[in-house]
Structure 1
Amino acid sequence: QIWLDTRRFAPLLTVDPADFGNLLYPFYEQRCGQLIGAAEETLSVATASQAIAERLSIDPGRPVIVIERIAKGYDATPLEFRRSTGDAGPFRYRVDIT
């Protein structure tokens, strides 16, 4: 699930979803002139509602990972709110700290 400000991202309303491709941030820049400069993510664990379970083809009540992201422009303006939900069974998260 992705929420965007319709004033900033209005050109996307006329784009066929099949044309979005795999990388959204370059697409946002090309179509809307909006550059993502940073993002914050929060991970949590929940249980699958009936609707989520149907979308993920899992049993209701099964553990799921919820990733919420706020993507911001270079001026720190929030541009995108995204919530991703996935089956917790095969989930792995890796962070490299250098």
Structure 2
Amino acid sequence: MNQSISSKEPWLAVNLSYFFPGIGQIYSGNISRGWILIICSCLFWGLGVYLIFNPKSNPIIGIAFLLAYNLLSIWNLFDAHKCARKANNSQFE
């Protein structure tokens, strides 16, 4: 009996997500969740930077977007680990 064992390494998923949010989820097989995180993190970061440096806008709102980006990035690390563990067979653990 030759069974293929799914081998998604949870800490590799965390490291991938550390460098760019959402990549660890894509590595784990959750492609839609990964793309949602990529889009949200790009929007939060882009809006935050734009609102901080735009002289016609309120920089406090930009700081709020960057804070949301940081919180999303931290949550993303835990979620990448969880997604990779969930993708594994019980034999891999």
Q: Same fold (TM over 0.5)?
A: no
After TM superposition, the score normalised by the length of structure 1 is 0.23
Which is higher, the Rg of structure 1 or of structure 2?
2
Structure with larger RCO (C-alpha < 8 A, sep 6+): 2
Larger strand fraction of residues: 1
Larger helix fraction of residues: 2
